[in-house]
Amino acid sequence: MSEVSAVQIPVYNRSDPTLWFIMCESTFKLAVPKPIIESVTKFNYVVSHLPPEVASLVRDILMNPDVTDPYTHLKTELINRSGESSQQEIRQLLSGEELGTRKPSELLRNMKRRAETLKVPETFMLELFLQRLPTSVQTILAAVTDLTLDKAAEISDRILEVTPVPMEIHAVNKNNSNSMEEKLLCEIEKLNARIDKLEFSRSRSPFRRNRRKRKRRRIDATCSLPQTSRRLFIRDRISNISFLVDTGSDVSLIPANTYQKRNSSQQTLFAANSSTINVYGQKTLSLNFNLRRDFLWTFLIADVSIPILGADFLHYFELVPDLRNKCLRDTKTKLQSVGHLKYADLHSVQISISKDTIYHKLLKEFPSITKLPNPNQPVKHTTVHHIVTKGPPVVSKPRRLAPDRLKIAKSEFRNMMHLGHLRPSKSNYASPLHMVPKKGTLDWRPVGDYRALNSQTIKDKCPIPCIADFTAELHGSKLFSRIDLIKAYHQIPINSEDIHKTAICTPFGLFESTRMQFGLCNASATFQRFIDEVTRGLPGVYSFVDDILIASKNHEDHYQHLKTLFTRLDEYGLCMNVSKCIFGALTIDFLGFNLSENGIQPLPDKVKCILDFPKPDTLTQLRRFLGMFNFYRCFIPKAAHILAPIVLFLEGHTNKKKSRSSVRKSFEQLKWNENAEQAFLAAKNAIAEATLLRHPIPGAQLSLWVDASDVAIGGTLSQLSQGKW
């Protein structure tokens, strides 16, 4: 399975599992670099895409799969268990199928599918089909001679296409005289009768004869109330997907698939009932609502059941929903797109703050920094990314792509060009296009392979801060907040004179980027310089790339520090991920360390990873362990002395990146002795008892203690506090 890629299994079809398996088998044949033919591989793909409630139907087969042919066995049993019986098919054929908002031809195809195994005569099928059609259509078809099923469906489609308003079929039970509508009308008449009696008795009172007669108030039924909630849906002509038009939702959303839900949430939204909705990313779609223009919009991929057109989409394209006429009106073109009303058990989605602390109330005053950044918004700062190179331009031939990846690349490039982040190029530079699989999905992301360009780029030496730069100023701080920025890289444009150097050659043309991209060697330095400019002069604010720490001595100072920072973020057009931010905490995790009023110490979960690390068998594993241990080396007294027997394994071995001979040695088995094993256990015990490091006290007396031996050298920097070192 590791050799097979680019296999995207369709969503499970509950109504027709047989058709779903046919689609899966076609997908297996299109797999690259070779088709999937092994039964076990097919079985694993199918199982991973079954909904939980469907998987429970074949739980016994999933727990004990067939040894010889697990895929065929699962396919047969799932179709038998999830499909409808012949009695159910007959009931659905006779009474369960309704036209609704479908085309008559679509209804006929569904009826034929149910009648495949029942051997229903065509004349009987024709009669059943005609009963499902509106009365006006039946009247027209009655005059047609030699009417067949296919001919009836074709004529019905044409009739309904020219109908001004789409017709809806509602099943009405004539025997049910106690419907909700009749009850409401009856109650209204009773109330009117009581009002008449009250007015008559009031007019006969001798104390009210000389007063002006009041106008009689009457309760009228202006319209019949629907028995269920009706929402407006508009169908996209490109994807044939119906979108819910919801003016109460702040943002536009599309449902996340199973693979996208495995990723960590980028943002948290809230429904009208205060439940949380996770956001897993963004996707740009081109929609066509038959309004003589396409609607290209970036949707949030969220944990919702149906796609939503929110207030942001409607306001940007100047669209107005009309529920009475069941349509969406375009105020620009003066056209309207006919939709349909149906029940939708979904609450409006809002971008709000769930908690009610003073800091979250302050955050509500800056709504623009709590939303995902709009790719169409203009840049609000002057920072640009420079690419200073030496030597001749780097040139590469375009790499060939598989058909499915080529389609994805074209779609992504088209969307980025619409946003203004990409444009056609005539550059003498050409870096190849590289397709990177998205984490947790079978989808792909097109990026530029800038390794050749990076080798000729003069490196930007802007320093990236370390944790010691922050902790040196945290003495006396008691309250901490952490801000996590989101999608900030793409807010930095590339210098106009260097845009041509970002050119990417593809099988469908040469393109260059106008915004800073991942993969450019100086991108992190540029962003650190930018975030330093954003936070410059702000008290108690410390930034590390897209993570910002705020430390204060009391609640009043902390409130002012946050308010100043929020104002600065709003000025620069930056947005924050509220779900990952922490406000006003006494202790906080930052850059792999736990910060508090008392000092700094390692994170317990990181320490647990070191304690659970198995004894290394190769040099590669040993280097991995030493890298994890040395990250917290400053907390371990006599760390060099403890690790001395283990470090001896590295003698005579250079960096594995410098020579190929050392790569082979890196995978040789290590020969452990008693001293090395004791040192390995001692290192784990030392990290488990790591020392808490205090924050430096400004102005306190310093004392430096140093020592050395044959195998180690070390020192301790102490301060005099309350008469003690």
Residue 363 domain flag: no
CB neighbours of residue 77 within 10 Å: 15
582 and 611 together in one domain: no
| Distance in angstroms (rounded) separating the CA atoms of residues 354 and 264 | 19
Q: Which amino acid is at 53?
A: E
Residue 215 domain flag: no
Residue 200 domain flag: no
Tens of pLDDT, residues 615-626: 888 888 888 999
pLDDT band at 458 (very low <50, low <70, confident <90, very high): very high
DSSP H helical segments within 420-551, as ranges? 451-455, 467-471, 523-535
577 and 626 together in one domain: no
137 and 55 together in one domain: no
Mean pLDDT on 227-247: 82
pLDDT band at 386 (very low <50, low <70, confident <90, very high): very high
Tens of pLDDT, residues 517-541: 878 898 889 988 999 899 988 888 9
Both tokens of 246, joined, read 């919801």
State whether residue 557 is helix, strand or coil. helix
Please list, in sequence order, all residues whose beta carbon lies within 8 angstroms of the beta carbon of residue 181, skipping any fewer than 6 positions away. 224, 225, 227
State whether residue 414 is helix, strand or coil. helix
State whether residue 595 is helix, strand or coil. strand
Residue 198 domain flag: no
DSSP structural state of residue 341: E
DSSP H helical segments within 434-554, as ranges? 451-455, 467-471, 523-535
Q: 131 phi and psi, to 5 degrees? A: -65, -25
Contacts 24+ apart (CB under 8 A), 642-645: 642/679, 642/682, 642/683, 642/686, 643/679, 643/683, 644/679, 644/711, 644/712, 645/673, 645/675, 645/676, 645/678, 645/679
**Residue 500 pLDDT:** 92
**Residue 375 pLDDT:** 61
**Closest Cα partner for 82 from 11, 16, 8, 24?**
16
Domain count, the chain: 5
24 and 69 together in one domain: yes
Return the H-helix or E-strand segment holding 447: strand 444-448
pLDDT band at 432 (very low <50, low <70, confident <90, very high): very high
| Listed range (194-198, 381-385, 476-480) with the worst mean pLDDT | 194-198
482 and 593 together in one domain: yes
| Distance in angstroms (rounded) separating the CA atoms of residues 95 and 75 | 29
Among 267-271, 351-355, 499-503, 629-633, name the most confident range: 499-503
Domain boundary among 352, 377, 394: 352
**Residue 192 pLDDT:** 67
Confidence check: pLDDT of 213 > 70: no
461 and 567 together in one domain: yes
pLDDT band at 227 (very low <50, low <70, confident <90, very high): very low
Residue 680 domain flag: yes
Confidence check: pLDDT of 155 > 50: yes
pLDDT band at 350 (very low <50, low <70, confident <90, very high): low
State whether residue 373 is helix, strand or coil. coil
Answer for the pair 692, 598: CB distance below 8 angstroms, yes or no.
yes
pLDDT band at 720 (very low <50, low <70, confident <90, very high): confident
66 and 95 together in one domain: no
496 and 556 together in one domain: yes
Among 282-291, 496-505, 571-580, name the most confident range: 496-505
**Residue 138 pLDDT:** 77
Confidence check: pLDDT of 660 > 60: no
Kindly write down the DSSP assignment for every residue of 660-697, as one continuous string: HHHHHHHTSPP---HHHHHHHHHHHHHHHTPPPBPPPP
Confidence check: pLDDT of 268 > 80: no
590 and 607 together in one domain: no
Mean pLDDT on 281-304: 84
Give the Å distances, CA to CA, from 270 to 69, 108, 261, 349. 46, 41, 17, 6
686 and 547 together in one domain: no
Mean model confidence pLDDT for the chain: 79
Percent of the chain with pLDDT over 70: 81
574 and 620 together in one domain: no
Confidence check: pLDDT of 609 > 50: yes
Higher pLDDT, 97 or 49: 49
Confidence check: pLDDT of 117 > 70: no
Residue 216 domain flag: no
Domain boundary among 597, 617, 635: 597
Give the Å distances, CA to CA, from 71 to 25, 75, 711. 11, 6, 61
Residue 197 domain flag: no
Confidence check: pLDDT of 240 > 70: yes
Residue 206 domain flag: no
Higher pLDDT, 558 or 153: 558
**Residue 229 pLDDT:** 55
**Residue 378 pLDDT:** 75
Domain boundary among 61, 82, 103: 82
Answer for the pair 375, 490: CB distance below 8 angstroms, yes or no.
yes
**Look-up of token digits 């100023």:** 473
The boundaries of the domain holding residue 137 are 86-159
Please list, in sequence order, all residues whose beta carbon lies within 8 angstroms of the beta carbon of residue 200, skipping any fewer than 6 positions away. none
600-602 sheet: strands from edge to edge: 587-590, 593-596, 600-602
95 and 241 together in one domain: no
Confidence check: pLDDT of 490 > 60: yes
Q: What is the CATH number of the domain that holds 286?
A: 2.40.70.10
Confidence check: pLDDT of 4 > 50: no
